[in-house]
Amino acid sequence: MTKIEEIKLEDLKPKKFIEQKINEISSIIGSGLAINALSGGVDSSAVTMLGHKALGEKLKTYFIDNGLMRQDEPGYVVTLFKKLGVHVEILDAKKEFFNALKGLTDPEEKREAITQTFYKNVFGQLVKKSGAKFLLQGTIYTDVEETIAGIKRQHNILEQIGINTEESFGYKVIEPLIQLRKTGVREVAKALGLPEKVYKRPPFPGPALVARVIGEVTPERVETVRKATKIVEEELSDTKAFQYLAILHEDRVTGIRDGKRDFGLQIEVRCWESKDALKGTPTRLPYDTLDKLAQRLTTEVAGVVSVTYNITKKPPSTIEAV
Amino acid sequence: MTKIEEIKLEDLKPKKFIEQKINEISSIIGSGLAINALSGGVDSSAVTMLGHKALGEKLKTYFIDNGLMRQDEPGYVVTLFKKLGVHVEILDAKKEFFNALKGLTDPEEKREAITQTFYKNVFGQLVKKSGAKFLLQGTIYTDVEETIAGIKRQHNILEQIGINTEESFGYKVIEPLIQLRKTGVREVAKALGLPEKVYKRPPFPGPALVARVIGEVTPERVETVRKATKIVEEELSDTKAFQYLAILHEDRVTGIRDGKRDFGLQIEVRCWESKDALKGTPTRLPYDTLDKLAQRLTTEVAGVVSVTYNITKKPPSTIEAV
């Protein structure tokens, strides 16, 4: 296990960092082929641009449509990168992911199912077809820390926990952002010429909406939390908060619809003030905003009768629930 | 099914109401014996005082210790009524209730188990021993409405849904408060000479802490929500809110303890502004209060890593979750 040195925000010189990483990537890969998966988040967007600048056509970028992303995400990502001169290919892997998640309720088992499906099934096949021996990936420093501490299993931490990806999956992983935290990545993304809506985009978890569904992950339950996520992002995007999210609970609670009992769904909203995701404080949202959130979530998302707002600091909470 | 006429708050004359009810109770019961169960809430406290004034020694008052009440409740209730000249006998029925609740997760089944245990097993035996043919009970108008509307099954609604208690359980139920809503009952309780901490006490659900536990009700889970309830009542008693409560979720969420992952418990806090429990709005608690609640609940209640505050209006929410 290699020891990774953090580059603190005050020591980061984005232009120089980019230049250095472009050189590193070029020299490691040489005349070989690399592929990467772009999710649309700031980490994988920055890696895509770094890889594109270093490798040009020798990098194949894929958007893996796992059925677990935000609403309209595949089209949004492809269009955005087309404008930046990067071709992104969409791979429909919804069936593979939902099959792997069937019946699982334990958060660690769900994360493991995502990891295995992503690296072994979906990416393994892609790599074989493409002949690429290198995978570029947007792992950041916080992911490493949390996985080593045993808090959460990040789906992109493999070498750090002693998994040799060349042996297990047939390719080598390169992680150019691994010494940075989120704020550092945003600086780099900005310097790479990515638009503000990308470099300021709130973090989205590796296992995507799986991290926002308590209990079993089915297409229907993902659709519920996807609609809730859209509403929460619309209402809270002006807050400048570090991150905001909607969680679908498995617990049902009593509600009233048209004067009758409705044993319905509960959505939990979280909105965080944080610098680095290591510590966090719930944003002190105005009650008018909370009211609007509850009103929209209970009228626009089928089955929802109850909405809560999380008021716990991290620690002892974590940013995501699963 | 008898149609019940509501007495609106503006039409209520507490002294006259009390006089009338005392006469009614005396004339129905005559030289017979009556018993009642006192929970310590405003409804059953008012009924106990009405019955005591009407019947004196002909009324036997019991505190059924079902193991589902607030912390230190049995001793508190007995001491309080002793000062008012009313003898209250404690009946330990914890085993009966927990046995009846074992394995049940559906809210309606849990409420039904409480009803059956209360009326058939525990009260049936008491009545047989005492020879009483009458049960005085603190049903109020909102209970009737909600049960008939099919929103929730209140444990004290029997005649209204067509259950003949004389046939089923061997005694007749008298409900002197059934035409009043909560605010009316508080006026009557005050006029009966009950202390302010009783007539201003926030409502507590019929099925007690069972209504605050999502999923199976075990002695351990009740103990968790009991501790949480105590903290919430301590922190919110100055708010003058209509009702405030803590709910233990069955869903577990990821948290961090001592730098390690802790897949722990979540407590949901609700605090209501309401006149009659028919409609309700979440109290706009200061964030400093929410912070303090989260901090106390995650440090003083074992296993709790996450706290939420409910932000939904009633409807579509209900006051309680179960």
Alpha carbon of B153: minimum distance to chain A alpha carbons (Å): 10
CA-closest candidate to residue A28, choices A192, A188, A174: A174
- What kind and span of H or E run contains A188? helix A182-191
Q: How far apart are CA B60 and CA B75, in angstroms?
A: 17
Residue A65 and residue A22: Cα distance in Å, rounded?
Answer: 28
**pLDDT for position A150:** 65
Which residues, 6 or more positions from B141, have their beta carbon under 8 angstroms from its beta carbon? B4, B6, B178, B179, B180, B181
A48-87 pLDDT, tens digit each: 999 999 999 999 999 999 999 998 999 999 999 999 999 9
Residue B159, pLDDT score: 58
Query: Which of A132-141, A151-160, A227-236, B138-147 is least confident?
Result: A151-160
Residue A4, SS3? Answer: coil
Tokens of B307: 């706290």
Among B151, B282, B290, the residue with its CB nearest the CB of A256 is B151
- Tens of pLDDT along A272-316? 999 878 899 999 999 999 999 999 999 999 999 999 999 999 999
> What is the structure's pLDDT at A127?
76
The pTM assigned to this predicted structure is: 0.83
CB contact under 8 A, B307 and A311: yes
Task: Report whether A270 contacts A282 (CB < 8 A).
Answer: yes
Contacts of B255 in chain A (CB under 8 A): 315-318
Count CA atoms closer than 13 A to A93's CA, side-chain side. Answer: 27
- A214 and B253 in contact by Cβ < 8 A? yes
The arithmetic mean of pLDDT across residues A12-31, rounded, is 96
Mean pLDDT of A43-50: 96
Q: Which residue has the higher pLDDT, B169 or A217?
A: A217
Q: How many helices (H) and strands (E) does chain A have?
A: 12, 10
Q: Does A309 touch chain B (CB under 8 A)?
A: yes
Supply the pLDDT for residue B116.
87
Residue A4 contacts B where some CB pair is shorter than 8 Å:
no
State whether residue B152 sits within 8 Å of chain A by CB: yes
What does DSSP say about strands A59-65 and A88-92: parallel, antiparallel, or unpaired?
parallel
Which residue on chain B is closest to A318 by alpha carbon? B255
Are residues B256 and A318, on separate chains, in Cβ contact within 8 Å?
A: yes
Comparing CB atoms, the residue among A214, A284, A317 nearest residue B255 is A317
Interface pTM, i.e. ipTM: 0.82
At residue B16, the pLDDT reads: 97
Q: Say yes or no for a CB contact (<8 Å) between B151 and A307.
A: no
Is B279's Cβ below 8 Å from some Cβ in A? no
Of B261, B282, B298, the CB nearest to A312: B298
CA angle B197, B198, B203 (to 5 degrees): 105
At residue A148, does pLDDT exceed 80? no
Predicted local confidence at residue B1, as pLDDT: 46
Q: Which residues of A touch B296 (CB under 8 A)?
A: none
The pLDDT of residue B143 is: 80
* Start-to-end C-alpha separation, chain B: 27
**A residues 176-235 lying closer than 8 A (beta carbon) to B:** 214-215
Residue of B nearest to A149 (CA): B260
Euclidean distance between CA atoms A244 and A270, whole angstroms: 5
pLDDT of res. A128: 75
B260 interfaces chain A, CB cutoff of 8 Å = yes
What residues of B are in contact with residue A253 (Cβ under 8 Å)?
A: 214, 317-318, 321-322
Q: What is the mean pLDDT of chain A?
A: 90
> Is some CB atom of chain A closer than 8 A to the CB atom of B288?
no
Using a CB-CB cut-off of 8 Å, the residues of chain A touching B290 are 282, 311
Mutate to test the interface with A, among B214, B253, B305 (most CBs of A within 10 A): B253
- B17: enclosing H helix or E strand: helix B14-29
Q: Does B20 touch chain A (CB under 8 A)?
A: no
Of B151, B254, B259, the CB nearest to A321: B254
- The pair of structure tokens assigned to A286 is 């105005």
B317 neighbourhood in chain A, CB within 8 Å: 253, 255-256, 298, 305-306
What pLDDT, on a 0 to 100 scale, did the predictor assign at position A1? 46
Q: Is residue B318 classed as helix, strand or coil in its secondary structure?
A: coil
Q: Which of these, A201, A202, A147, A137, lies nearest to A173 by C-alpha position?
A: A137
Q: Roughly how many angstroms between the first and final C-alpha of chain A, as a whole number?
A: 27
Provide the pLDDT for residue A231. 98
A249 close to B (CB below 8 A): yes
A151 touches chain B (CB under 8 A): yes
Q: Cβ separation of B151 and A287 shorter than 8 Å? A: no
- Mean per-residue pLDDT for A211-237? 96
Pairing of strands A304-310, B304-310: antiparallel
Query: Residue A216 has which token pair?
Result: 């079993």
Question: CA-CA distance, B225 to B202, in Å (whole number)?
Answer: 17
Q: What is the pLDDT of residue A310?
A: 98
Asked if A256 and B315 come within 8 Å (Cβ–Cβ), the reply is yes
Judged by a CB distance cut-off of 8 A, whether residue B259 touches chain A is: yes
DSSP bridge partners of B262: B255
List of E strands, A168-314: 172-174, 243-248, 253-257, 260-273, 281-282, 304-310
Question: Under a CB-based contact definition with an 8 Å cutoff, are residues B283 and B241 in contact?
Answer: yes
The residue length of chain B stands at 322
Q: How far is CA A72 from each of CA A65, A77, A223, rounded to the nearest angstrom?
A: 11, 9, 12
Give the per-residue SS3 of B174-229. ECCCCCCCHHHHHHHHHHCCCCHHHHCCCCCCCCHHHHHECCCCCHHHHHHHHHHH
Q: Span A132-151, mean pLDDT?
A: 81
- Look at residue A4 and tell me whether its pLDDT is greater than 90: no
The pLDDT value recorded for residue A208 is 87
Give the best residue of A306, A309, A319, A320 to mutate against chain B (max B CB count within 10 A): A306
Q: Count the Cβ atoms, other than its own, within 10 Å of residue A279.
A: 12
Confidence of residue A154 (pLDDT cuts 50, 70, 90): low
Q: Is A293 near chain B, with CB under 8 Å?
A: yes
Is residue A62 within 8 Å of A89, Cβ to Cβ? yes
pLDDT along chain B (322 residues), means of 10: 82 97 95 91 96 95 94 93 96 96 93 87 80 88 75 59 64 90 95 94 84 96 97 95 96 92 95 91 98 98 98 96 88
Q: Are strands A281-282 and A304-310 parallel, antiparallel or unpaired?
A: unpaired
CB contact under 8 A, B310 and A305: no
| Per-residue pLDDT, B149 | 65
Residue from the list B249, B260, B293 with its beta carbon closest to the beta carbon of A151: B260
* CB pairs < 8 Å spanning A and B: 152
Q: Give the closest-approach CA distance of B78 to chain A in angstroms.
A: 33
User: Using CA atoms, how far apart are residues A101 and A110, in angstroms rounded to an integer?
Assistant: 6
* Inter-chain touch B253–A315, beta carbons under 8 Å: no
Interface residue B278 vs chain A (CB under 8 A): no
Q: If DSSP codes are grouped into helix, strand and coil, which group holds residue A225?
A: helix
Count of residues for chain A? 322
